[in-house]
Structure 1
Amino acid sequence: MFLAVALAALIIEALFGYPQALVRRIGHPVMWIGALIAWADRHWNRASDSFTLRRLWGAALVLLLIMAAASIGLGLTAAARLALPEPFATGVLGLLASSLLAQRSLGQHVSAVASALEKEGLVGGRRAVSMIVGRDPESLDEAGVARAAIESLAENFSDGVVAPLFWLAIGSLPGMLIYKATNTADSMIGHLSERHRAFGWAAARLDDLINLPASRLSALWLALAAIAIPRASARDAISAVWRDAHKHRSPNAGWPEAAMAGALRLRLAGPRVYHGEIVEDAWMGEGRADAKASDIRRALRLYRAACAVQALVVVAALVAVISIWR
Structure 2
Amino acid sequence: MLLFPLTVTLPVAALAAVTESLAGYPAPLFRAIGHPVVWAGALINKLDQTFNHPEESEARRRLAGFVALFILLTVTLGITGLALKIGDHFLSPSLMLIAQAIATTTLVAQKSLWTHVYAVFRALQNDGLTGGRQAVSQIVGRDTTVLDEAGIVRAALESLAENFSDGVVAPLFWAALFGLPGAVFYKTVNTADSMIGHLTPRYAAFGMASARLDDLINLPASRLAALCIILAAPHGQRREAWRAVWRDARKHRSPNAGWPEAAMAGALTLRLAGPRSYNGKEVPDHWMGNGTAQATASDLKRGLSIYRRACGLLIIFLLSAALSGMMMG
TM-score range with shorter-chain normalisation?
over 0.9
Runs of 4+ in 1 over 3 A off after TM superposition: none
Deviation at 1:46, TM superposition (A): 1.0
Q: 1:316 aligned to 297, 320, 324, which one?
A: 320
Deviation at 1:78, TM superposition (A): 2.5
In the alignment, structure 2 segments of 5+ residues that lack a partner are: 1-7
1:102-121 paired onto structure 2 within 5 Å:
102-121=109-128
Once residues 14 and 94 of structure 2 are traced to their aligned partners in structure 1, the CA distance between those partners, rounded to angstroms, is 12
Deviation at 1:72, TM superposition (A): 2.1
Aligned to 2:158: 151
Q: 2:292 aligned to 270, 282, 288, which one?
A: 288
Aligned to 1:14: 21
- Match for 1:316: what amino acid? S
Aligned to 2:222: 215
Task: Judge conservation of contact 1:80–1:93 (CA < 8 Å) in 2.
Answer: no
Q: 1:179 aligned to 186, 192, 198, which one?
A: 186
Per-residue CA distance 1:198-228 (angstroms, 9 max, x = gap): 11000000000000000000000111111xx
Deviation at 1:140, TM superposition (A): 1.2
1:279 aligns with 2:283: yes
- Match for 1:299: what amino acid? G
Aligned to 2:309: 305
Aligned to 2:274: 270
Once residues 76 and 187 of structure 2 are traced to their aligned partners in structure 1, the CA distance between those partners, rounded to angstroms, is 9
- TM-score where L is the length of structure 2: 0.96
2:253 aligned counterpart, secondary structure:
coil
Once residues 85 and 302 of structure 1 are traced to their aligned partners in structure 2, the CA distance between those partners, rounded to angstroms, is 39
1:18 aligned counterpart, secondary structure:
coil
Aligned to 1:261: 265
Per-residue CA distance 1:230-287 (angstroms, 9 max, x = gap): 7x61111110000000000000000000000001111000000001000111000011
1:1-326 paired onto structure 2 within 5 Å:
1-226=8-233, 229=234, 233-325=237-329
In the alignment, structure 1 segments of 5+ residues that lack a partner are: none
Q: Which moved more, 1:75-84 or 1:165-174?
A: 75-84
- TM-score where L is the length of structure 1: 0.96
Q: Which moved more, 1:170-179 or 1:142-151?
A: 170-179
* Cα RMSD (Å): 1.1
Q: Which moved more, 1:246-255 or 1:88-97?
A: 88-97
- Match for 2:23: what amino acid? F
Deviation at 1:292, TM superposition (A): 1.1
Deviation at 1:45, TM superposition (A): 0.8
Higher relative contact order (CA 8 A, sep 6+): 2
Once residues 224 and 21 of structure 2 are traced to their aligned partners in structure 1, the CA distance between those partners, rounded to angstroms, is 19
2:201 aligned counterpart, secondary structure:
coil
Identity %: 54
Paired residues in the alignment total 322
Once residues 25 and 122 of structure 1 are traced to their aligned partners in structure 2, the CA distance between those partners, rounded to angstroms, is 35
